[in-house]
Amino acid sequence: TQLLKQSPQFLSIQEGENLTVYCNSSSVFSSLQWYRQEPGEGPVLLVTVVTGGEVKKLKRLTFQFGDARKDSSLHITAAQPGDTGLYLCAGVGSARQLTFGSGTQLTVLP
C-alpha cells in the first residue's frame, strides 16, 4: 500500500508552461521532502518542509506543506526542458526512514 500518492503520474507540457504536482498522504509525517531523479541515477534532494503551512521557494519551484502535515505540492513556473525528470515526494518517518510517493514523471518539450 502506497502511503503517499502523487498526482499526476505523468505530465507532458510545453516549455514556458506552469505546472503543479500534488503529494497526498494518509499519514502525518514529521517532515516531507521532494526529490528529482534522472534516469540511471539516484534521487537528488530539492527541499525539506517541516512546519505545517510552510512555503519554500527554490528559484522557479515553490513547495507547500499542508497545515495538517499530510499533503504537499510542488509548483513549477515557466517550465524548462531541464526540469524534465521523475519528481518524488518522501515522508520522513519516526525511525528516520523515507517513504516515497508514487512519483510524477515530468517531460517538458522545447
Partner 1 sequence: GAVVSQHPSWVICKSGTSVKIECRSLDFQATTMFWYRQFPKQSLMLMATSNEGSKATYEQGVEKDKFLINHASLTLSTLTVTSAHPEDSSFYICSAEDRGSNYGYTFGSGTRLTVV
Q: In this complex, which beta carbon is closest to partner 1, that of residue 38 or of residue 67?
A: 38
- Report DSSP letters for 22-71, one per residue: EEEESS--SEEEEEEE-TTS--EEEEEE-STT-EEEETTEEEEE-TTSSE
User: By CB under 8 A, is residue 31 in contact with partner 1?
Assistant: yes
Binding span for partner 1 by CB under 8 A among 11-19, 20-28, 41-49, 59-67: 41-49
Residue 36 pairs with which residues in a beta bridge? 44, 87
User: By CB under 8 A, is residue 97 in contact with partner 1?
Assistant: yes
| Angstrom distance (rounded) from CA 56 to CA 46 | 10
User: By CB under 8 A, is residue 24 in contact with partner 1?
Assistant: no
From candidates 66, 85, 91, 101, binder to partner 1 by CB under 8 A: 101
Residue 94's φ and ψ, nearest 5 degrees, are: -65, -30
Q: Which residues of this chain interact with partner 1, rule CB under 8 A?
A: 2, 31, 33, 40-45, 48, 50, 88, 92, 95-103, 105
